[in-house]
Structure 1
């Protein structure tokens, strides 16, 4: 049986911050917002590209890690 969705666990403080961020934004849930953000990130890609330096890519990775994504 193939599942359409999986559970992604994030730290409670991050969840609470995201819940505050989305208030009045039009997103109906933290989950909806996180899916939107991750899709956006994946559409731009995180791999090294000619227009993004290695340092910029590492800075993005550090920010995502600090947000609890890695």
Structure 2
């Protein structure tokens, strides 16, 4: 699969870089691709509501990333 370059501001890059530290992501690029994939997939699946199991998986991932307690 090919890759394309996308530009973001330095301030956003720096904030993402701080957020990536201590997570399972190896780089800002990897994190940004993950977030964008999640957004796109969510929009594509909007018509299908999340099951309780799906919601728990998302919550577990967010906890692992440090976004939820």
TM range (shorter): 0.5 to 0.7
**2:32 corresponds to which residue?**
34
Distance 1:44 1:19 in 2: 24
TM-score, length-scaled by structure 2: 0.60
Q: Which has the higher contact order (CA 8 A, sep 6+)?
A: 1
Could you say what the CA RMSD is over the residues aligned between the two structures, in angstroms? 2.1
**1:45 corresponds to which residue?**
43
The 5 Å alignment of 1:1-70 reads: 4-45=2-43
Distance 1:25 1:17 in 2: 14
CA deviation after TM superposition for structure 1 residue 35, in Å: 0.2
TM-score, length-scaled by structure 1: 0.60
Q: Which structure 2 residue ranges, 5 or more long, are not aligned?
A: 50-69
Q: Which structure 1 residue ranges, 5 or more long, are not aligned?
A: 52-70
